[in-house]
Amino acid sequence: MTEWIVRRWVRFGHDRLYAATPGGTDLGYLDLATGRYHSDDLSNLPLLRKAIEDHMGARRHGGSVREPNRQPQGNASPTASPAGTPVAPPTLPTPLSPTPLAQSPGPVAATAPVPPPATAPPLTTAPSTRSGLRWHDLSDTRAGAAARERALAEREAQGMVRHMFARVLDAKTDERAWRIGADGEQAVGDQLAALDARWRILHAVRVGERGADIEHVVIGPGGVFTVNSKNHPKASIWVGGDTFMVNGSRVPYIRNSRHEARRASRLLAEHVGFPVPVTGVIAVVGARRGFTVKNQPIDGAVTVVTRRGIRRYLTSQPQRLGLREIDAIHEVARRSTTWHR
């Protein structure tokens, strides 16, 4: 589980949970009295909600939560429990109707009413007959979560002034690359969300210990697919066999997608107990200057489609899996420990 930095702040009649990324980037806070999330940047709201949900789940199941040696935004220190003393998580209210926002110590640039956190992905002590390790459920991870976190970390490293100039000039920074990548993942995730109930979708699946992730794992009647989103808003894309070119420059997308699919196939088969063929899919977002696929990759292990074409591609596949197989594969795919080798 991501080691979010979460602290409770109780002062002046307010009761809040402030959250930040592991790198220390402030995401905002949850007002426990109103059930509303507040953030200076609306794009941070999905991460903010995820951080609070993970925090609440860890408290319920006796997990540890990272505590920073600093104060959250505001003029007062958050309350903290004595070392080694467990603190029960607060009960979150369920607002029956929108309520006025409470006055805060400092200005809040953006607010968004959302439901209080649902039960966080559970930690369990019976995850895998092979490993016996504790795992957490990947089913509720949002599309683009990993890339969005990296973008936030890069933005913090830039500093506010450099970040503002980079945005104005549309400079090609690492922060921009991660941000655009996250936007592409969300766009593809929106398309996948429209598939019918027979399909199971996982997003931002972390693989191994080196920070790699599979952007989307799709399991359904047509088989198992690892989907990689490539967001090139102003580019020209040309594909011919194993050659993938962006604005005339060759990039290793097909090779990487093939490797990703093979790795996923091996890991899933090890845990589910039967062979799990996996097809890699590259979903192109943007490409406003042209998108041409002369020939698909030669071995059929990877397919290149547009964002809008991915649902049509998936649903046009012949049936390869029954409901029992879909459920069995999804059951192991949603466990974080499946992907740690």
Q: Which domains does the chain have, with CATH numbers?
A: 5-120 (no CATH), 183-339 (3.40.1350.10)
| Residue 49: predicted pLDDT | 87
Sign (positive or negative) of CA dihedral 67, 69, 71, 76: positive
Q: What is the pLDDT of residues 260-289, one digit of tens each?
A: 999 999 999 998 889 999 999 999 998 889
Task: Give the type of residue at 272.
Answer: V
Q: Which two tokens stand for residue 234?
A: 């102003």
Residue 40 DSSP label: S
- Rounded to 5 degrees, φ, ψ at 8 are -90, 140
Q: Which two tokens stand for residue 300?
A: 């059929």
| Residue 339: predicted pLDDT | 93
Which residues, given as ranges, of the chain have pLDDT below 50? 64-65, 67-131, 163, 165
Alpha helical stretches, state H, the chain:
45-60, 145-158, 160-169, 174-192, 253-272, 310-315, 323-333
| Residue 23: predicted pLDDT | 66
Sign (positive or negative) of CA dihedral 191, 192, 193, 195: positive
Contact 217, 201 (CB under 8 A): yes
Strand partners, 238: 245, 292
